[in-house]
């Protein structure tokens, strides 16, 4: 509870105590009015000031004006009743309206604050300091002051403040604040390490590779903190609705206070009963206050985003949460998303050339590439790569690599590359990626490389279908046979293979056209090579993005670990959040409409109006906070 909330709570308690005490006063008249004015001003002076400022700034139509007019009107009716009937006026209702309104506001402020604190606790990854060794002693400095290339020391129990590479030591890292998973990860010399993890066991020396402002922890915190700036359609609707709704109910209340008495007096020829109709109009104003909608809808999305971040799912805005809830088609990139991206050479089929010579030519030709397939060829070769033996390297997108090795022309790639060179190649019936080799213009054989499916990939597809996703599609640049083998094993509905990056964009656009009106399309990729597709889909999801700047920048939703099961969890979180939003909308509007009708015909009094305003708001806020809890989804 902050100072402002404590101050308001004291005001509430003082006003309530005075209201209860003055209710037993044995006398009336001006002194009674003056005494009751004390608790009214104690609890409502800020509302009156806000209403006055709104009128002064020509923006009068908000809940402060509604409360000010309703309560001042109720006091005026009490004074009139006291003067006309010579009885004690009932000031309790007017003060109670303001009191309960402020109780509702305090509760809402406390609930939002608690929600923010929960999110801050869940995302408690911002480091307070970085350790630098100076003269044999550790000194704590601000992470912002650490330059790229500096050596920092992280002791057991401390947070890793900045991204870098371990140059000394080994330890176990707790990444739960980033991934939502409690399973620790090992780190040793040479490993890349990202900020936000907690060092659990050994001392680590880390050479920083980024400034603090560009490190993973800063980007994640910026994402979560700025998510509220991207509003959903539901939030935009409520904002626009409130702008029209508030002046409409003010004018309706004026009409309710004025028109019936005039009709009674001049048309029907009976007493106007101004007091009764003004009281009904004031009750109408209290009931109509749109607090429940204006407060609970943004709070629902805020809580949903916070709950998702606790589960290792970063959502860049409530608009993306709303779009994700409508997802009916999920399109996957294969490598690094459904498979581990860890390629291994399984077989080498060679013609007249020796097996080891064929692997040597392949590894040297691919030595300039950082692609996982190239790395697997270099690992299979198993010797130090002498780059001086390789010249004239030419990489052809979607085909392969051509180079000169020891002055001999070598080509390593798919069947398209062989056709391009006019080399007759031999087909292979094994599932996997086939690297055809041409040496000195003649076909030398092929190498079979296979990727490994992720342990939970099959379960992830099943969970997506249980979550209501109607179609799953896989896009890959891999060979047709390898792609079809993976798709069949995982239970994917549709597969498109041998695609270039531009082809993936075209396929997504075609799928979106086919699915028009049938729900939204989500594309799931590793966020590095798939940036164009992530941007083009209705919703782009980057997974396994710990430390990947490209993923955080390109995607709308970022999954902080490599587990594809998180995709279905993200969809379930979004649907729970939207379900809560619609529950609050229908509940708030429904109760208010019923009470407005009852107030207009004179059945509802000011106490029912208080429930329709404050009671509905509290119920809606409590319901909204449920979006924060996603552990069992």
pLDDT at 376: 85
CATH topology of domain 130-219: 2.70.150
pLDDT at 99: 85
| Calpha distance 337→561 (Å, rounded) | 10
Quick check: 86 pLDDT over 70?
A: no
Tokens of 544: 């396994």
| Calpha distance 201→453 (Å, rounded) | 31
Q: Is 333 helix (H, G, I), strand (E, B) or coil?
A: strand
Report residue 459's pLDDT band, with 50, 70 and 90 as the boundaries: very high
Q: DSSP states of 539-569 as a string?
A: EEEE-S-TT-HHHHHH-SEEESSS-THHHHH
Q: Which pTM does this prediction carry? A: 0.70
Catalytic residue among 333, 478, 538, 562: 333
Q: What is the CATH number of domain 317-338+454-560?
A: 3.40.50.1000
Strand partners, 134: 137
Share of the chain above pLDDT 90, in %: 17
Picking from 108, 94, 55, 193, the residue whose alpha carbon sits closest to that of residue 623 is 108
Report residue 154's pLDDT band, with 50, 70 and 90 as the boundaries: very high
Ranges in the chain annotated CATH 2.70.150.10? 130-219
CB half-sphere exposure, 589, CA atoms < 13 A: 11
Report residue 329's pLDDT band, with 50, 70 and 90 as the boundaries: very high
Tokens of 128: 């307070």
Tens digits of residue pLDDT in 529-565: 677 788 888 998 988 665 456 666 778 888 877 788 9
Mean pLDDT (whole number) for 119-131:
69
Mean pLDDT (whole number) for 226-243:
68
| Calpha distance 254→256 (Å, rounded) | 5
Q: Which residues of 93-107 are buried (b: 16+ CB within 10 A; e: fewer)?
A: bbbbbbbbbbbbbbb
Q: Is 110 helix (H, G, I), strand (E, B) or coil?
A: helix
| Calpha distance 477→488 (Å, rounded) | 17
| Calpha distance 69→399 (Å, rounded) | 75
Q: What is the 3-state secondary structure (H, E, C) of 51-97?
A: HHHHHHCCCCCCHHHHHHHHHHHHHHHHHHHHHHHCCCCCCHHHHHH
| Calpha distance 512→509 (Å, rounded) | 5
Is 333 a catalytic site residue? yes
CATH topology of domain 344-450: Calcium-transporting ATPase, cytoplasmic domain N (3.40.1110)
Least confident of 27-36, 87-96, 468-477: 87-96
Which of 16-20, 24-28, 74-78 shows the highest mean pLDDT? 16-20
Tell me which of 222 and 162 has the higher pLDDT.
162
Mean pLDDT (whole number) for 197-226:
81
Tell me which of 529 and 592 has the higher pLDDT.
592
Answer yes or no: are the C-beta atoms of 127 and 143 closer than 8 Å: yes
Residue 52 CB neighbours (<10 A): 14
Tell me which of 236 and 45 has the higher pLDDT.
45
Q: For 548, list phi and psi in degrees, rounded to 5.
A: -95, 105
Q: DSSP states of 211-276 as a string?
A: -GGGSHHHHHHHHHHHGGGS--HHHHHHHHHHHHHHHHHHHHHHHHHHHHHHIIIIIS-S---HHH
Picking from 88, 74, 108, 102, the residue whose alpha carbon sits closest to that of residue 15 is 102
| Calpha distance 154→158 (Å, rounded) | 6
Quick check: 511 pLDDT over 80?
A: yes
CB within 8 Å of 47: residues ≥ 6 apart: 64, 67, 68, 98, 101, 102
The chain-wide mean pLDDT, for the chain, equals 83
pLDDT at 547: 47
């Amino acid at each position: 509870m902050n100072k402002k909330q404590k101050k308001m709570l004291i005001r509430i308690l003082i006003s309530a105590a005075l209201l209860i005490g003055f209710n037993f006063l044995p006398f009336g008249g001006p002194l009674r009015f003056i005494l009751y004015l004390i608790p009214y001003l104690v609890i409502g002076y800020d509302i009156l000031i806000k209403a006055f400022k709104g009128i002064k700034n020509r923006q009068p139509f908000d809940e402060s004006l509604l409360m000010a007019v309703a309560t001042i009107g109720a006091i005026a009716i009490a004074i009139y009743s006291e003067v006309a009937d010579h009885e004690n006026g009932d000031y309790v209702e007017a003060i109670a309206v303001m009191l309960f309104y402020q109780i509702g506001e305090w509760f809402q402020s406390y609930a939002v604050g608690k929600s923010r604190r929960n999110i801050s606790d869940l995302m408690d990854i911002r480091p307070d300091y970085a350790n630098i060794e100076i003269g044999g002693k550790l000194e704590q400095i601000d992470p912002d002051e650490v330059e790229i290339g500096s050596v920092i020391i992280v002791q057991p129990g401390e947070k890793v403040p900045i991204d870098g590479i371990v140059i000394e030591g080994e330890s176990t890292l707790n990444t739960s604040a980033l991934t939502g998973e409690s399973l620790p990860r090992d780190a040793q010399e040479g490993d890349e390490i990202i900020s936000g993890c907690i060092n659990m066991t050994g001392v680590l020396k880390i050479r920083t590779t980024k400034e603090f402002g560009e490190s993973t922890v800063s980007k994640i915190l910026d994402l979560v903190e700025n998510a509220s700036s991207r509003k959903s359609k539901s939030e935009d609707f409520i904002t626009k609705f409130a702008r029209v709704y508030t002046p409409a109910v003010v004018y309706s209340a004026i009409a309710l206070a004025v028109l019936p008495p005039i009709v009674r007096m001049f048309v029907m020829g009976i007493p106007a009963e101004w007091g009764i109709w003004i009281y009904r109009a004031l009750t109408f104003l209290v009931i109509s206050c749109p607090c429940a909608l204006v407060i609970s809808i943004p709070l629902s999305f805020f809580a949903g985003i916070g709950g998702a971040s606790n589960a290792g799912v970063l959502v860049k805005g409530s608009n993306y949460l709303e779009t994700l809830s409508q997802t009916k088609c999920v399109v996957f990139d294969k490598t690094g998303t459904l498979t581990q991206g860890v390629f291994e050479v399984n077989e080498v089929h060679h013609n007249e050339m020796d097996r080891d010579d064929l692997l040597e030519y392949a590894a040297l030709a691919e030595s300039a590439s950082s692609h996982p397939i190239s790395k697997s060829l270099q690992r299979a070769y198993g010797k130090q790569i002498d780059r001086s033996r390789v010249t004239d390297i030419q990489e052809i997108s979607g085909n392969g690599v051509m180079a000169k090795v020891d002055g001999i022309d070598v080509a390593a790639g798919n069947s398209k590359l062989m056709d391009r060179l006019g080399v007759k190649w031999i087909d292979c019936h094994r599932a996997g990626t086939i690297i055809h080799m041409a040496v000195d213009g003649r076909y030398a054989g092929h190498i079979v490389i296979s990727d490994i499916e992720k342990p939970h990939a099959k379960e992830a597809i099943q969970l997506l279908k249980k979550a209501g996703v109607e179609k799953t599609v896989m896009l890959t640049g891999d060979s047709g046979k390898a792609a079809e083998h993976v798709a069949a094993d995982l239970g994917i509905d549709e597969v498109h293979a041998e695609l270039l990056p531009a082809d993936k964009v075209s396929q997504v656009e075609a799928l979106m056209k086919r699915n028009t009106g049938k729900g939204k399309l989500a594309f799931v990729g590793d966020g590095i090579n798939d940036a164009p597709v992530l941007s083009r889909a209705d919703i782009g999801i980057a997974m396994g993005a710990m430390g990947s700047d490209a993923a955080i920048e390109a995607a709308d939703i970022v999954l902080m670990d490599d587990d594809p099961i998180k995709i279905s969890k993200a969809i379930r979180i979004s649907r729970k959040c939207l379900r809560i939003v619609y529950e609050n909308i229908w509940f708030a509007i429904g109760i208010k409409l019923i009470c407005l009708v009852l107030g207009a015909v004179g059945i509802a009094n000011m106490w029912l109006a208080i429930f329709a305003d404050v009671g509905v708001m509290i119920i809606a806020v409590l319901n909204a906070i449920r979006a924060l809890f996603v552990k069992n989804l």
